[in-house]
């Protein structure tokens, strides 16, 4: 065998190995030594003949000036229950709360029917020109109930027509509801419109992005605020075995383009459909909790988060009531200290010195190694209660705590400040 034939054979064997690796990497059929711990579960092997997308779904081929696009409609009755509540619960919401926590006044008096729920599936997580949006799910309320319209990119050549169809559909709506849509879905879709030399109003619509309020409310007690985690922990949504791990979706679409076999796309389309339905339930849950929290239904962690949320938005009255509810629900000294620190800060901003001092007094018992509540009490007695002996006593106590519990690199400056305060009190 000559040298060129040997090189050719080795290249052929290498290409065969690479092809085998690509075929098994997205959905391995058996455990592999050295496989990462977060590797998704294997998908069942496909049996039988390849199937095109229109053989698996009762979809519609839509035609417009830019070509053809493919849309799969799924209709639900108004009383359809998804997780913890019917989809129609969204229609009962007053979006004033959503306008407040999303900081978008356009939502203030908006009819919930004017909102479109949008979720995308893409070939990657970057916003570069090489990332395609191949599935766009848009959920809207109609006179018959709730309909999810899923636009599937059968071929990249259909992208201009699909984008045009999306733009036409969204002309009838004033706002989007998304999950991380402000940072991902909308910018990526906008870039696709730009690359296709089309105009879009996507980035000008009001956008109720549910990821950020979900984090504000549940980050204290949930390790993850991904939509799938919220479904399990909060929304009581259980996906079937028809679902697919999100990390597999880009590779599955690349395989579809290569083979034309759409059978794995059934799982991707199911995944996208449930995402859209879960956003409806999540949006209603968030708005209901923000507008009328029920202390008896919320755990302490959620009450703390909600009170802080109100506080950060300047809703002082709701914050104070919710801090009080959280304090009643608290079972651990750590939680009680967190609540009292936040409540004392709120009362201090309102110059309700006596009420704030009561919080600091309790904190000295809950936080025996902290100088902060002792210093606050010293300030209160010096400047507002005019009880210099009490101010001196709390300053001495703060010095004691600083000498035994404050780290060295902070201690010197803190002690200097406390000694200065003590000298001023002695003079008074």
- Determine the pLDDT at residue 26: 43
Percent of the chain with pLDDT strictly greater than 70: 90
Label the pairing between strands 175-178 and 115-122: parallel
Q: Is the pLDDT of residue 120 over 70?
A: yes
Average pLDDT over all residues of the chain? 91
CB 251 within 8 A of CB 264: no
Q: What mean pLDDT comes out for the span 286-299? A: 88
Reported for 44-52, long-range contacts at CB under 8 A and 24+ positions apart, including other chains, are 46/261, 46/263, 46/264, 50/259, 50/260, 50/261, 50/262, 50/263, 51/261, 51/262, 51/263, 52/260, 52/262
CATH architecture assigned to 300-427: Alpha Horseshoe (1.25)
CB 182 within 8 A of CB 176: no
- Determine the pLDDT at residue 21: 40
- Determine the pLDDT at residue 39: 61
CA-based nearest residue to 131, from 74, 180, 192: 192
Q: Is the pLDDT of residue 11 over 90?
A: no
CA distances from 159 to 154, 193, 197, 334 (A): 9, 9, 12, 54
Q: How many CA atoms lie within 13 A of 228 on its CB side?
A: 9
Label the pairing between strands 85-86 and 175-178: unpaired
CA distances from 417 to 369, 384, 399, 406, 413 (A): 18, 20, 10, 14, 6
Q: Is the pLDDT of residue 112 over 80?
A: yes
Look up the pTM and report it: 0.88
CA distances from 116 to 153, 170, 185 (A): 20, 8, 13
- Determine the pLDDT at residue 294: 76
Q: Is the pLDDT of residue 355 over 80?
A: yes
CATH class for the region spanning 53-291: alpha beta
Tell me, yes or no, if the two domains 53-291 and 300-427 fold the same way.
no
CA-based nearest residue to 263, from 73, 45, 40, 75: 45
Q: What mean pLDDT comes out for the span 258-274? A: 98
Neighbours of 241 (CB within 10 A): 9
- Determine the pLDDT at residue 38: 59
Q: Is the pLDDT of residue 192 over 50?
A: yes
With left for phi above 0 and alpha for psi between -120 and 50, is residue 82 left, alpha or beta? beta
Query: Crossing angle, helix 372-383 and helix 333-349, to 10 degrees?
Result: 30
In the structure, what pLDDT confidence band is assigned to residue 195 with cuts at 50, 70 and 90?
A: very high
Q: Is the pLDDT of residue 411 over 80?
A: yes
Q: Is the pLDDT of residue 2 over 60?
A: no
Backbone angles phi, psi at 140, to 5 degrees: -140, 150
> pLDDT tens digit string along 304-324?
999 999 999 999 999 999 999
Q: How many CA atoms lie within 13 A of 200 on its CB side?
A: 25
**Maximum alpha-carbon separation in the chain:** 104
Q: Is the pLDDT of residue 393 over 80?
A: yes
In the structure, what pLDDT confidence band is assigned to residue 186 with cuts at 50, 70 and 90?
A: very high
Q: Which residue has the tokens 């002996």?
A: 389
| Per-domain residue ranges of the chain | 53-291, 300-427
Alpha carbon distance 280, 237 (integer Å): 12
Q: Is the pLDDT of residue 10 over 60?
A: no
Q: Please give the structure tokens belonging to residue 169.
A: 């559909």
Q: Is the pLDDT of residue 15 over 70?
A: no
Alpha carbon distance 252, 368 (integer Å): 57
């Amino acid at each position: 065998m000559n040298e060129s034939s040997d090189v050719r054979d080795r290249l052929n064997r290498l290409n065969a190995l690479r092809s085998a690796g690509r075929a098994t990497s997205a959905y391995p059929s058996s455990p592999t030594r050295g496989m990462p711990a977060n590797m998704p579960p294997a998908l069942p092997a496909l049996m039988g003949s390849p199937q095109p997308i229109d053989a698996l779904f009762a979809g519609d081929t839509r035609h417009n000036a830019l070509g053809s696009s493919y849309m799969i409609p799924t209709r639900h009755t108004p009383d359809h229950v998804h997780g913890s509540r019917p989809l129609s619960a969204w229609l009962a919401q007053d979006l004033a709360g959503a306008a407040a926590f999303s900081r978008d006044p356009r939502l203030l008096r908006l009819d919930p029917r004017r909102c479109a729920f949008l979720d995308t599936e893409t070939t990657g997580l970057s916003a570069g020109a090489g990332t395609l949006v191949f599935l766009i799910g848009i959920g809207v309320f109609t006179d018959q109930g709730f309909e999810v319209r899923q636009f599937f990119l059968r071929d990249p050549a259909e992208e201009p027509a699909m984008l045009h169809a999306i733009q036409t559909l969204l002309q009838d709506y004033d706002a989007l509801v998304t999950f991380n849509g402000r940072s991902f879905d909308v910018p990526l879709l906008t870039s696709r419109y730009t690359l296709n030399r089309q105009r879009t109003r996507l980035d000008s619509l009001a956008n109720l992005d549910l990821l950020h309020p979900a984090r504000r409310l549940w980050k204290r007690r949930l390790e993850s605020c991904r939509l799938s985690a919220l479904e399990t922990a909060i929304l009581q949504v259980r996906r079937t075995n028809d679902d697919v791990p999100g990390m597999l979706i880009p590779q599955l679409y690349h395989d579809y383009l290569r083979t034309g076999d759409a059978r794995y796309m059934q799982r991707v389309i199911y995944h996208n459909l449930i995402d859209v339905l879960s956003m409806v339930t999540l949006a209603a849950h968030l708005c209901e909790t923000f507008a009328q929290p029920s202390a008896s239904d919320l755990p302490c962690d959620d009450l703390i988060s909600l009170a802080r949320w109100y506080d950060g938005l300047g809703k002082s009255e709701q914050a104070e009531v919710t801090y009080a509810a959280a304090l009643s629900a608290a079972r651990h000294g750590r939680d009680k200290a967190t609540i009292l620190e936040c409540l004392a800060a709120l009362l201090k901003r309102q110059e309700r010195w006596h009420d704030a001092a009561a919080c600091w007094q309790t904190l000295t018992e809950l936080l025996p190694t902290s100088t902060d509540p002792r210093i606050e009490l010293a300030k209160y007695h010096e400047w507002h209660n005019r009880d210099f002996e009490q101010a001196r006593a709390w300053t001495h106590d703060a010095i004691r705590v600083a000498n035994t519990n404050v780290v060295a690199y902070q201690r010197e400056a803190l002690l200097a400040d406390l000694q200065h305060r003590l000298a001023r009190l002695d003079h008074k």
